[in-house]
């Protein structure tokens, strides 16, 4: 089964998307616990999960724009 997904880059270039991905990755690293593990629960875990989801979505858009 094939699913069609409409991708909206809001006029961003591949470089701009890649810069946002790098920024989110750097910010996400700051949320890790002192021992380097992912936070178990609480607001840091929620933020970590949201950033991970946004990074994954941006990676799809970035590949789409870079291949176009």
Domain ranges (residues) in the chain? 14-67
Contact 55, 24 (CB under 8 A): yes
- Mean of per-residue pLDDT scores for the chain: 86
Please give the radius of gyration of the chain, using alpha carbons only, rounded to the nearest integer.
14
- Dmax of the chain from CA atoms? 43
Q: Report the alpha-carbon distance of residue 58 to residue 52 in Å, rounded.
A: 10
- The model's pTM is 0.78
**pLDDT tens profile 41-67:** 899 999 999 999 999 999 999 998 888
From the list 1, 2, 3, 5, the residue with the least C-alpha distance to 64 is: 5
Q: Report the alpha-carbon distance of residue 24 to residue 51 in Å, rounded.
A: 7
């Amino acid at each position: 089964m094939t699913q069609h997904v409409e991708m909206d880059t809001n006029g961003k270039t591949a470089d701009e998307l890649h810069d946002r991905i790098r920024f989110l990755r750097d910010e996400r690293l700051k949320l890790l616990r002192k021992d380097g593990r992912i936070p178990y629960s609480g607001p840091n875990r929620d933020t970590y999960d949201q950033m991970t989801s946004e990074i994954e979505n941006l990676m799809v858009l970035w590949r789409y724009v870079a291949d176009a």
